[in-house]
């Protein structure tokens, strides 16, 4: 089949990933090596361990992605790699390897912003379904362990441009899931297990009032053209509120009991955690998730309405959350906005999104210089 076959490589956090994507529209192979087992005992990602694991995994992961695609270094058309943002040491492994491969195989190298990658995970799967045209304006929410960003996205002759209209002022939403899970002894990462446990609790049991972050005047008549309407988020307060609830309600003993029960299991499943949670804990978890979901959905939809958005893309690890998906679907339908998500597999970090985001650059021959370096604090828009 004709088209451009791009090998994507991603190593910005705790997943070593490689994938082959054809012309930004067909997923040919997708390999993700997750380091969860390595970081699980620490309740979060340990940067030094992440770099070491990437070093171990990168060669077999890239080989497998090529093998699964029936491709070789000679028969791919370009190599795309995450340049940033992410952990410095982790990014360095992927970028150095991609540079060496590109040099040895005489293939062009394309440096990709990880956040743009998350947005292209949605676009890749839409194209794969035969949907090539999005209705603009497009708003994208990238919500993951490291980011909670809102972007207005535009495309001119296939080249995408982004304008950031909101971000978190402190913790990312996924970080709040991970920290609350750590506090409650629910393992790492927190998102998937909280997603599961929340279905067994009462989301109205605990009230978490969100401090409304001050916005500029939402009335368009009062707005100066340069006075851009921003929608910022903040998730460190809810983590502290959960901690306070645990203290006030003397939950330390129940947490310690869970720690003891679960540590006897080698790789605990969500079912193991469920068996180790009492009603009060399940209610707290369900209320926490409901509060975060309500906040993300209401602020994003308000921004979508303010900007007259036609299509909303919700992507990043937290976009895998079932309650979040349901709430976005309901609220977007009420506002007449089309909402699109990646499959769960492409919501969390992967390299297919990196290969897909590189395709427009491949077409416009926007290749990285030989001296390209990783940028841990790289911004988008």
Among residues 35, 349, 355, 361, which is the contact residue for Zn ion, using CB under 5 A? Answer: 349
Looking only at residues 121 through 180 of this chain, which bind Zn ion when binding is defined by CB under 5 A?
144
Give me the DSSP letters along 330-355.
HHHHHHT-EEE---HHHHSS-SHHHH
Q: Which CB atom, from 303 or from 354, has the smaller least distance to ligand KG4?
A: 354
Binding-site partner at residue 189 among Zn ion, ligand KG4, none, CB < 5 to 8 Å by type: ligand KG4
Pairing of strands 311-315, 5-10: unpaired
Residue 298, helix vs strand vs coil: helix
Contacts of ligand KG4 in 158-177 (CB under 6 A): 174, 177
Q: Report whether 125 contacts 346 (CB < 8 A).
A: yes
Per rule CB under 6 A, is residue 53 in the interface with ligand KG4?
no
Which one, of 350, 327, 346, 328, lies nearest residue 337 by Cα?
Answer: 328
CB of 299 to ligand KG4, least distance (A): 17
In whole angstroms, give the CA distance from residue 337 to residue 139: 10
For residue 147, the minimal CB distance to ligand KG4 (Å) is 6
Q: How far is the CB of 347 from ligand KG4 (least distance, A)?
A: 7
Short-list 136, 110, 192, 171, CA closest to 308: 136
Contact partner, 168, from ligand KG4, Zn ion, none, Cβ < 5-8 Å per class: none
Between 98 and 285, whose beta carbon lies closer to Zn ion?
98
Q: Does 283 bind ligand KG4 (CB under 6 A)?
A: no
Whole-angstrom Cα distance, residue 44 to residue 42? 5
Among 57, 110, 320, 340, the residue binding ligand KG4 under the rule CB under 6 A is: 320
Stretch that binds ligand KG4, among 248-256, 295-303, 315-323, 331-339 (CB under 6 A): 315-323
Chosen from ligand KG4, Zn ion, none, partner binding at 174 (C-beta under 5 to 8 Å by type): ligand KG4
Structure tokens belonging to residue 132: 């090539």
CB 112 within 8 Å of CB 358: yes
320 binds, among Zn ion, ligand KG4, none (CB under 5 to 8 A by kind): ligand KG4
Q: How far apart are CA 378 and CA 381, in angstroms?
A: 10
User: Minimum distance from CB of 370 to ligand KG4 (Å)?
Assistant: 27
Phi, psi of 21 (to 5 degrees): -125, 135
Q: 341 near 315, Cβ under 8 Å?
A: yes
Output the six-digit token pair for 319.
């976009």
Task: List, in sequence order, the alpha helices (H) in 211-343.
Answer: 236-248, 252-263, 270-275, 279-306, 322-335
**Measured from the CB atom, is 8 or 189 closer to ligand KG4?**
189
For ligand KG4, the closer of residues 76 and 115 by Cβ is 115
Span interacting with ligand KG4, options 88-96, 191-199, 200-208, 234-242, rule CB under 6 A: 191-199
- Edge-to-edge strand list for the sheet holding 159-167: 159-167, 148-156, 138-143, 311-315, 338-340
Least Å distance, CB 66 to ligand KG4, is 23
Number of residues that bind ligand KG4 (CB under 6 A): 19
Among 113, 144, 231, 254, binds ligand KG4 (CB under 6 A): 144
Contact between 297 and ligand KG4 (CB under 6 A)?
Answer: no
User: Which C-beta is closer to ligand KG4: that of 24 or that of 84?
Assistant: 84
Is residue 350 part of the contact set for Zn ion (CB under 5 A)? no
The two most distant CA atoms of the chain are separated, in Å, by: 63
- Report how far residue 355's alpha carbon sits from residue 7's, in angstroms, rounded to the nearest whole number: 6
- Binding-site partner at residue 192 among Zn ion, ligand KG4, none, CB < 5 to 8 Å by type: ligand KG4
Site residues for ligand KG4 per CB under 6 A: 13, 144-146, 174, 177-178, 189-192, 195, 316-318, 320-321, 348-349
Site residues for Zn ion per CB under 5 A: 144, 349
């Amino acid at each position: 089949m004709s088209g451009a076959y791009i090998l994507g490589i991603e190593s910005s956090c705790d997943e070593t990933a490689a994938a082959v994507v054809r012309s930004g529209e067909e997923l040919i192979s997708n390999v993700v090596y997750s380091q969860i087992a390595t970081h699980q005992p620490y309740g979060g990602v340990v940067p030094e361990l992440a770099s070491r694991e990437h070093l171990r995994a990168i060669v077999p992961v890239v080989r497998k992605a090529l093998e699964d695609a029936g491709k070789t270094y000679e028969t791919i058309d370009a190599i795309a790699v995450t340049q940033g943002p992410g952990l410095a040491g982790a990014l360095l492994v992927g970028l150095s390897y991609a540079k060496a491969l590109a040099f040895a195989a005489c293939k062009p190298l394309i440096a990709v912003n990880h956040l743009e990658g998350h947005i292209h995970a949605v676009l890749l799967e839409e194209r794969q379904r035969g949907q090539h045209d999005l209705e603009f304006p497009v708003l994208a929410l990238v919500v993951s362990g490291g980011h909670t960003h809102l972007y207005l996205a535009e495309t001119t002759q296939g080249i995408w441009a982004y304008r950031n209209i909101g971000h978190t002022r402190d913790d990312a939403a996924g970080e709040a899931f991970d920290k609350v899970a750590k506090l409650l002894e629910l393992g790492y990462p927190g998102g998937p297990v909280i997603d599961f446990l929340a279905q067994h609790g009462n989301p109205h049991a605990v009230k978490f009032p969100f401090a409304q972050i001050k916005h500029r005047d939402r009335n368009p008549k009062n707005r100066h053209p340069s006075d851009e309407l921003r929608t910022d988020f903040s998730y460190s307060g809810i983590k502290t509120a959960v901690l306070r609830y645990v203290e006030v309600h003397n939950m330390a003993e129940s947490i310690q009991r869970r720690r003891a029960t679960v540590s006897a299991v080698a790789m605990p499943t969500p079912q193991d955690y469920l068996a180790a949670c009492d009603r009060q804990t399940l209610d707290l978890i369900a209320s926490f998730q409901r509060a975060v979901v309500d906040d993300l959905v209401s602020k994003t939809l308000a921004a979508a309405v303010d900007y007259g958005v036609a299509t909303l893309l919700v992507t990043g690890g937290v976009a895998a959350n079932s309650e979040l998906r349901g709430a976005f679907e309901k609220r977007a339908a009420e506002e007449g906005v089309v909402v699109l998500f990646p499959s769960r597999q492409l919501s969390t970090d992967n390299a297919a999104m990196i290969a897909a985001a590189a395709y427009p650059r491949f077409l416009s021959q926007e290749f990285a210089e030989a001296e390209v370096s990783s940028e841990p604090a790289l911004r988008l828009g």
